């Protein structure tokens, strides 16, 4: 089932001679049960693509559809509810609240989204899988970049979203952790029927993907040959 679709997306920044065409006629479909990788170097438009897919910014032209509904037709309240209830974001900046412990990060999410979250047992299992269960009383400032990244991943998955959008989720991780995160995303897609989209330059994640897209100079192509390369 198609859960996220981008149709003829273009994005421009700036005006006049400073105008930059960041995304060029992007067409993309994500289905539940699949892990999609979007591979590309820094500056290729990956992060812009992801934030448009998640409704965090609007395209200059084109349309984003979530489960058949055009995002641009939603009110601000509906868009906020969509992001809260349907989408789990893993952003490069982690977006952890500095004055809350790891445990309190999840407690805050539960206050905002009271239902359909992971059970306490499932959360504990996820924290163990990510090897961060011993860090629950630590603050983000006391953690390494890789630890903060794994907390951000856990927080995104805690809400049991229909769609996971992850921006360079393995950038600060060693190969062992990359494999673990890849398996988590793969299992999430296949066993929980979630649409997972990861933008990255980390080729170590390719083995876990159902589909591999390349984005270069704002143009996107499907290249599943990379899975067997």
Return the pLDDT at 223: 87
Report pLDDT digits (tens) over 124-172: 999 999 999 999 999 999 999 889 999 999 999 999 999 999 999 998 8
Among 3.40.50.300, 3.40.630.10, 3.40.50.1100, 3.40.1640.10, name the CATH number for the domain at 2-227: 3.40.50.300
Asked if the model's pLDDT at residue 37 lies above 70, the reply is yes
Beta-bridged to residue 27, according to DSSP, are none
DSSP output for 191-223: HHT-EEEEEES-GGGGGG-SEEEEEETTEEEE-
pTM: 0.92
Report pLDDT digits (tens) over 73-122: 999 899 888 888 999 999 877 789 999 999 999 999 999 999 999 999 99
Confirm if 103 and 136 have CB atoms less than 8 A apart: yes
- Report the C-alpha gap between 229 and 218 in whole angstroms: 23
Domain spans, the chain: 2-227
What long-range pairs does 14-18 form, CB within 8 A, spacing at least 24? none
- Report the C-alpha gap between 30 and 22 in whole angstroms: 21
- Report the C-alpha gap between 109 and 117 in whole angstroms: 9
Tell me what the pLDDT averaged over the chain comes to: 92
**Strands (DSSP E) along the chain, which ranges?**
2-13, 20-31, 35-39, 61-66, 69-70, 87-90, 163-167, 195-200, 211-216, 219-222
Quick one: which of 26, 20, 12 has its CA closest to 215?
Answer: 26
């Amino acid at each position: 089932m198609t859960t996220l679709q981008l149709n003829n997306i273009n994005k421009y920044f700036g005006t006049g001679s400073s105008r930059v065409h960041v995304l060029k006629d992007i067409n993309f479909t994500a289905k539940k049960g699949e892990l999609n990788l979007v591979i590309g170097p820094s500056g290729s438009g990956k992060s812009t693509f992801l934030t448009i897919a998640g409704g965090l910014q609007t395209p200059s032209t084109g349309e984003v559809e979530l489960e058949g509904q055009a995002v641009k037709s939603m009110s601000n309240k509906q868009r906020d509810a969509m992001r809260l209830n349907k989408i789990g974001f893993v952003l490069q900046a982690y977006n952890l609240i500095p004055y809350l412990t790891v445990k309190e990060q999840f407690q805050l999410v539960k206050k905002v989204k009271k239902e359909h979250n992971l059970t306490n047992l499932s959360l504990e299992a996820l924290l163990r899988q990510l090897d961060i269960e011993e860090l629950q009383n630590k603050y983000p400032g006391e953690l390494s970049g890789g630890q903060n990244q794994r907390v951000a991943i856990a927080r995104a998955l805690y809400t049991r979203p229909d769609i996971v959008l992850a921006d360079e989720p393995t950038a600060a991780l060693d190969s062992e952790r990359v494999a673990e995160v890849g398996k988590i995303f793969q299992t999430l897609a296949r066993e929980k029927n979630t649409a997972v989209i990861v933008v990255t330059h980390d080729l170590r994640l390719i083995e876990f993907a159902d589909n591999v897209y390349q984005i270069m100079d704002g143009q996107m192509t499907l290249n599943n040959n990379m899975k067997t390369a």
